[in-house]
Structure 1
Amino acid sequence: MEMGLARAMNLVACSDPSIAEIAAADAFGIAKAHPFVDGNKRTASVTAVTFLRLNGYAFRAEAIGGVKRMEDLASSTVDEATFAKWLSEGMTPLRGPQI
């Protein structure tokens, strides 16, 4: 798990990524590192969406579209940049204080 999350930390240390790019790096890192016996893609999805929320963004996508995108990311059918673009298209700023 640490190795998967280190990918996003390295991205932040070496460049000026968008929130979507950091969330995509977290998701990619977890999906590819396979830290759990089961549930790696679900964990990657929840991590990305939670990261967006903690940084002031809601994320919306069709359920089946989200599952397909995460499967594509995990199998390298889409790359991290494409996944980040897809995330950014579904992001909307939250209003009011966030807990």
Structure 2
Amino acid sequence: EYWAVFEVMVHLNANLNETEKMILLKESLVGKAATTIKGIKMIPQNYSWMVDVIKKKYDNLTTTRANVIKRLMFSIRQKTTQNLAKQFLIISAP
């Protein structure tokens, strides 16, 4: 269930670049799943590797859909808030 939700909301989202997808992936994982990708360097070229590692290890395990969606939405909301704050600062700059 986790991957189905993540894939639709993030992985296939053409509005997000690889770095943004990596950040959202990393922020949405907890516990052992987060530890699984902990050592992978956060560079765009490693996004596919991160996805492969997670899918190979947890592809058959289920996660509560509500928790997955909640974490993803929180991450996306946080990113949107940060972008709006940056835009405000740029517009407000003398």
TM over 0.5: no
Bin of the TM-score, shorter chain as denominator length: 0.3 to 0.5
Tell me the TM-score normalised to structure 2 length: 0.35
- Give the TM-score normalised by the residue count of structure 1: 0.34
